[in-house]
Amino acid sequence: MSREEDDAVALVRVYCGLASADSADRPASAGSTLTSAVVDDAGRLLHVCEIGDDAAGYAQLVALLVERSGGPSGAAIAADSDDHTVTSLLSAAGRPLAIADDDSVDDFAERFADDDSLEEMQSPPAERRAVGLARALQAGALSAVTLPAPRDLAGYKQVLSAHAALASGRHSAAVALREVLRELYPAALRAYPDPAEPVSLAVLDALPEPGMLGGTVARGREVSVAADAIAAHLAADGVADADEINEAVTALRVAISETPRRAAVNRALTSAVAETVRQAVASVRACDAGCEALVSALSA
């Protein structure tokens, strides 16, 4: 995605629908979940996923909305009930929210369905309801407003606001990381469609410049990093299982071999590239760590 395309994404207003998963289709042991659907200003479906009806699910939804709209306040949300943990947290955070009754939700699912999309027409009921709610907002059939915060969550406004700030910061840090890689380490973008994913971040932190997989000089000394040693180390740290990490390292090695090398660089510049990539990675991880701390506090 070009810088211009990144900017265009950041300006998109989006609408989100939240619908309860159909309990008849879920095992009794499964936790409570919600289906979220996001559409753009033209009603085009951008994203559908299930989230847990808990603090972690709320955090996942906030991150998704920030990614799709470029900011914490660029999305209106409609739900099929105000009796969800996620909707309670949304209200406490002061986010625009609309609540629809069951009959209206079913009507929206039918009225705003895309009859030309076979995939959408064959989707589960909860997904169709979520999409219907999102498109009802987009079409003006519903209006999202700031609802009073639940009394038991009113004291968490500061925590939720801090989380929103970190979620926005994380998005900005991820964009910055992508731009740094575009200029200094293009093979990484070839290997990883989303370099801000946890496994990609870990590999880039361990291999922050392309020469490290080929035994070039970094920081004034010879560095030859065995890919299997890197994978074993990351697996031991619990980043992911060994197979997933091996695949990520291999993808990076192949991308480096297929990416034309730029003009020869001196040791100082090679060292600077490695340090810059590591710091860009650290910026994303710092926001992730802050978000995790706040979500843990909310869960507790």
Are the C-beta atoms of 298 and 89 separated by less than 8 Å?
A: yes
The alpha carbons of the chain give a radius of gyration, in whole angstroms, of 22
Domain ranges in the chain? 15-154, 166-299
- What is the dotted CATH code of the domain comprising 15-154? 3.30.420
pLDDT for the residue numbered 74: 67
Kindly indicate the confidence band of residue 73, based on its pLDDT and cuts at 50, 70 and 90. Answer: low
Q: pLDDT digit string (tens) for 18-59?
A: 999 764 444 433 458 999 999 999 999 999 999 999 999 999
pTM over 0.75: yes
